[in-house]
Chains A and B, each alone.
Chain A
Amino acid sequence: MSSDPTAPISTTPAVGEPLIQLEGTSKTYRSGELQVTALQPTTLRVDAGEFLAIMGPSGSGKSTLMNVLGCLDVASSGTYRLAGSDVGSLSEEELAEIRNRRIGFVFQQFNLLASMPAWRNVELPLCYAGVSRTERRERALAALERVGLADRSDHRPGELSGGQQQRVAVARALVTEPALLLADEPTGNLDSTSTADVLGLLAELHDAGRTIVLITHEDDVAAAADRIVRLHDGTVVSDRSNAPRAGLHRAGKVPS
């Protein structure tokens, strides 16, 4: 399907080219009579290679926006172009392929499978990408090494601290080398040391050319990004660049 120009992203845009283009994209939840517009019609462009933070109080629509960006949910109106192709026109299988190859997710609740050791969690996206077993294991171990957990690869999530679990989740998100990394309050459940670790990892990935969208409601976390978009009641209320990259994430290297 990669030869079909209308179908999913076949190439990743170069740095500076638009990766994400929202035009009048909104999301309304309906439950019976009740309608909640979690995201008002929004127009937003994110270029390849950007490190964007989305901020806003609880309930302002940050997660809703990220779910749309990650193709985990479908927008109610407007268009969403990811690397040039219109996500709304893609089939379920094509969306699955995009989630698998182009996007890496880091969730606030880690979302690791408790029954599997760390390396099996990390290799999971590769299973769905059809990568061979030996290569999967190699790449999973390499990703764990990169997040400083090489010696924890056989531990189950229950045997790891919150910070370690989130690093496993980051390893899982980066193992497919996706163009876009989406993190929804990845440090929301972490102490400050672990927060620094995870932000350090994100900054490293950004330096390596990945586009990162980080959701947070904490200023010092958002400080890691080079652009900050603020939401309020589902509407973008400010969008500015965040030039000096100072803050927590540069505090130290990733511990091993």
Chain B
Amino acid sequence: MNWWETVRTGYDAVRAHRLRSALTMLGILIGIAAVMLTVGLGLGAQATIGAQINSLGSNLLVVTPGSTTTNGVRGGQGSAATLTMADATALTDEQVAPDVAGVAPTVQRPGSLAVAGTNWTTSVVGTTEDWSQVRARTVTNGRFLSADDVSGKAAVVVLGSTTAAELFGEENAVGRTVTVSGVPMTVVGILDPGGSSPLGDQDDQAVVPISVAAERIFGGTARGTVQTIFVQAESTEALSAAHQEVSSLLLAMHRITDPTAPDFTITTQQSILDIANSITGALTAVLSGIAGISLLVGGIGVMNIMLVSVTERIREIGLRKALGATPKVIRRQFLVEAAVLGLAGGIAGVVVGVAGSAALSNAIGQPIVVSPSATLMALAVSIGIGLLFGVYPASRAARLAPIDALRSE
């Protein structure tokens, strides 16, 4: 009996035992689809967070006051660790920091915006004209802050798209006046929607000149100090050079001699990504564990059905042997049957996994990334289990004397 005949026999047997075949395939299908969905969810979350971090801007360095703890000892030089406008201004120096393309010092506090009886509390960001470039944000309508606005302490504000919609609805906000924490200011532009990021909702904020924020809106202690300095490097390659330049300049400005004990922290996008990836990696690992369990459960189902069906068919094996089948031919027949079931179930599982990913992704608004390697592994495991438990008992039965197999109940 050649292979083609054997394949036909196997295929016929699969068709002849429809329910059993369907259940086996279902077990394989569920295992594979579950792996694809759960691993895909984890990878999808990773991709989303990565994209959000990248949307902060490109080639970005984030300078914040205070030091990260190193070896459990808090760094800093005793005096209150602060960043100032002077630091930011120094960073714009082409000679000292040639790899820095843009510097955006920011101060940020919650503030209340009001227009004709409508109130809206949002995040008020004081910054300079470089902010839009550094943070990779554009303006839909109107313009962004200009250098003159910052130096001339102009009472102008650029609103996030959500903020504008909350205050002005459908109307055009540009040119209108809004009071920001009691200070009347003119809306000069609306930011393009930027989605959410690890730094919060990018579409609900009010951006004002840092000079105005410091002196008129926040007042008091805010004067001269900044919370965060966003620094953009000239290019990805220049990122580490820029990191160096920012670090040595700030050390000099703050008169710190020990470079291992700065009173500021420079965070790169990569370091944010690394942290995020370690979190989403843990998430993916948990999801993979769940997927592995579903694979195992599906596999046990497949095993049970295979074992039962082969046991049921020992008489058939005896008959086939009586009619002239050799053990080898019997083994092949069951191998082909198990392979047909495994492949059909596997393909169905992949189809359901892909379709399910798309549907679930739509339903929950999260991307699901189908992982080819996880899919392959799931396919291999479930088909392997089907083959093992479909072929092993059959090959044992094929070694029985035909009459013993025929007589078995």
Please name the residue on chain A nearest to B326 by beta carbon.
A96
Q: How far is the CB of B167 from chain A (nearest CB, A)?
A: 74
Scan B319-334; emit 1 where CB is below 8 A from any A CB, else 0: 1111111111100000
Cross-chain contact B321 with A96 (CB below 8 angstroms): yes
What's the minimum C-beta distance from B2 to chain A, rounded to whole angstroms?
7
- Residues of chain A lying within 8 A (CB to CB) of residue B326: 92-93, 96, 128
Q: Which residues of chain B are near A124, meaning CB under 8 Å?
A: 320, 323
Q: Using Cβ atoms and an 8 Å threshold, which residues of chain A touch B327?
A: 92
Contact with B along A76-117 (1 / 0, CB 8 A): 000000000000000011001101110001010001010110
- The interface bits of chain B over 373-408 (1 if a CB of A lies within 8 angstroms of the residue's CB, else 0) are 000000000000000000000000000011110100
Interface size on B, residues (CB 8 A): 26
Task: Tell me whether A97 and B324 are in contact (CB under 8 A).
Answer: yes
Minimum CB distance partner of A96 in chain B: B326
Asked whether, in the complex, the Cβ of B320 is within 8 Å of the Cβ of A72, the reply is: no
User: Within 8 Å of chain A (Cβ to Cβ): is B80?
Assistant: no
Contact of A111 among B17, B319, B328, B329 (CB under 8 A): B319
A126 to chain B, nearest CB (A): 9
A252 is an interface residue with CB less than 8 A from chain B:
no
Q: Does A44 contact B (CB under 8 A)?
A: no
Q: Which of A99-149 contact B (CB under 8 A)?
A: 99-101, 105, 107, 111, 113, 115-116, 120, 124-125, 127-130, 133
A101 touches B401 (CB 8 A): no
Name the A residues within 8 Å of B325 (CB-CB).
Answer: 96, 128
- Indicate whether A113 sits within 8 Å of B324 (C-beta atoms), given known contacts A67-B403, A73-B401, A130-B1: no
- Asked if B274 CB lies within 8 Å of chain A CBs, one says no
Tally of chain A residues near chain B (CB < 8 A): 28
Are B324 and A116 touching (Cβ within 8 A)? no
Q: Does A74 contact B (CB under 8 A)?
A: yes
Q: Is A70 an interface residue (CB 8 A)?
A: yes
Determine which of B2, B9, B315, B403 lies in contact with A72 in the assembled complex, contact meaning CB atoms within 8 Å. Answer: B403
Distance in angstroms between the alpha carbons of A128 and B315 in the assembled complex: 17
Q: How far is the CB of B199 from chain A (nearest CB, A)?
A: 66
A101 & B322 in contact (Cβ 8 Å cutoff): no
A99 close to B323 (CB less than 8 A): yes
Q: Which residues A175-207 have CB closer than 8 A to chain B?
A: 176
Asked if A129 and B324 sit within 8 Å, CB to CB, the answer is yes
Contacts known (A116-B12, A116-B16); A111 close to B406, Cβ less than 8 A = yes
Pick the contact of A125: B2, B324, B404 (CB < 8 A). B324
**CB contact under 8 A between A96 and B2, given known A72-B406, A115-B12, A127-B9:** no
Q: Which residues from chain A contact B406 at a C-beta distance below 8 Å?
A: 72, 107, 111
B319 touches A96 (CB 8 A): no
In angstroms, Cα B321 to Cα A133, docked, is: 20
The verdict on B13 contacting chain A, using a C-beta distance below 8 Å, is yes
Which residue in chain A gives the minimum CB-CB distance to B16?
A: A115
Least CB distance from B70 to A in Å reads: 74
Set of chain B residues within 8 Å of A70, measured between Cβ atoms: 322
Question: Of residues 302 to 343 in B, which have CB atoms within 8 Å of A's CB atoms?
Answer: 315-316, 319-329
* Chain B min CB distance to A82 (Å): 15
* Nearest Cβ on chain A to B407's Cβ, whole angstroms: 9
25 A-B pairs with C-beta separation under 8 A: A72-B403, A73-B402, A73-B403, A93-B326, A93-B328, A96-B324, A96-B325, A96-B326, A97-B324, A99-B321, A99-B402, A100-B323, A111-B315, A113-B316, A115-B12, A116-B16, A124-B320, A124-B323, A127-B1, A128-B1, A128-B320, A128-B323, A128-B324, A128-B326, A129-B324
Given A100-B324, A111-B319, A172-B323, 17 further pairs, Cβ under 8 A: A73-B402, A92-B326, A93-B326, A96-B324, A97-B324, A99-B321, A99-B323, A99-B402, A107-B406, A111-B315, A116-B12, A124-B323, A127-B5, A128-B1, A128-B326, A128-B329, A130-B1
Where the two chains meet, the residues of B that have a C-beta atom closer than 8 Å to any C-beta of A are: 1-2, 5, 9, 12-13, 16-17, 315-316, 319-329, 401-404, 406
